[in-house]
Amino acid sequence: MEIGDGTLAVGAGLPGAENYAPPLPGPVFAAHYHLAGEASGPYLYGRDSNPTWSLLERAIGELESGAEVVSFSSGMGAVSAVILSQVRTGDVVVLPDDCYLTTRALKERLESYGAVVRMAPTAGDAQLAALDGARLVWLETPSNPRLDVCDIARIADAAHAAGALVAVDNTLATPLGQRPLDLGADFSVASGTKALTGHGDLLLGHVATRVPELAEGIRLWRKTVGAVPGPMEAWLAHRSLATLQLRLERQSANALALAEALRGRVAGLRYPGLPDDPSHEVAARQMRRFGCVVSFTLPDAEAAERFLGSLRLVMQATSFGGAHSSAERRGRWGGDAVEPGFIRFSAGIEDTDDLVADVLRALEGTGKRRDHR
């Protein structure tokens, strides 16, 4: 039976109904399990597997429309697992030069292992020009923080023809916003810290693939380096999936309303859901929801800080995807090619009119210097 995303999210990964049992069993805290005789079975040791992980991984696999999933202790744990487990000395890796800054930080590590790293922008499918001889192509679409989009299916087809694997960082979109595996990617990777779980109270990541051999290699990497999620984090994440569709619908609606309200008021406005955004045409073909992040640029760092300090409903935080709207001046961290006044804004689930009014009110004061008398 074909079901909607809300129905899918509510029931994802739940075990069969059993009298007097909870619909979602509580977290299993175990470093080891009773294990007499030969060492065989699903649960042998706490770094190998855990029943709470298993339910979460099954749930995310259902959201990814049928995939094997390996969960990790953070998004970067998942990112590193794919990149470092698949690349050997002499291999060529293609990375976006505008992806998440900590992903880009792996360039130095890869080169120290003797790999060759080529970098190209996300926009315009520029990575197509760097595919020759590649072992792995990493995509991030929409890119963080500038929100450029590339054509996953087009690049995946070309990469496979060149003998390369394709991995997509799907953190911003989530599986209910975009399904890279359906578009031809070999790996769909995400930080569950962000919109997937949406409450800003845990660190988590996952890798999804439909190739059993690739999944097994990722599990072995997790076991070897020990980047395992805690059972409480896995349980909280699974609990949070039930509201994923509801949260994404409100966040996307808020982001679009905010982007429309900011037209003509700010420079460099970007949101893939805007019909005139440079990314819209490609995004509309491959995304089911356009996400919660809007970016724009204020005149300078001082104006950006005044804007952020004037917001009443929005917290200042270096993350996105939460139920509570957040924003930051991204340039404070360095590493991203953004202007000093560049704002990354994550729309939450507040009432749309309240959120837009708060932003426009705060924006009115950005041109005025504070009185320090």
Apex 141 CA angle, 139 and 145, nearest 5: 110
**CA atoms of 255 and 11, how far apart (whole Å):** 27
Place of tokens 């209910």: 176
| From 104, 194, 289, 330, the catalytic residue | 194
How is residue 28 written in tokens? Answer: 């299993």
Q: Going edge to edge, which strands form the sheet with 165-169? A: 68-72, 205-209, 187-191, 165-169, 134-140, 92-96, 116-120
Q: Is 194 a catalytic residue?
A: yes
| From 5, 125, 148, 169, the catalytic residue | 169
Q: Is 100 a catalytic residue?
A: yes
Q: Is 47 a catalytic residue?
A: yes
Axis-axis angle for helices 212-225, 75-86 (nearest 10): 110
Residue 368: half-sphere exposure toward Cβ, Cα within 13 Å = 10
| From 100, 222, 270, 330, the catalytic residue | 100
| From 33, 43, 45, 47, the catalytic residue | 47
Contacts of 341 (CB under 8 A, 6+ apart): 297, 298, 299, 300, 301, 303, 304, 329, 331
Q: For the chain, what is the radius of gyration of the CA atoms?
A: 21
Q: Known catalytic residues?
A: 47, 100, 169, 194
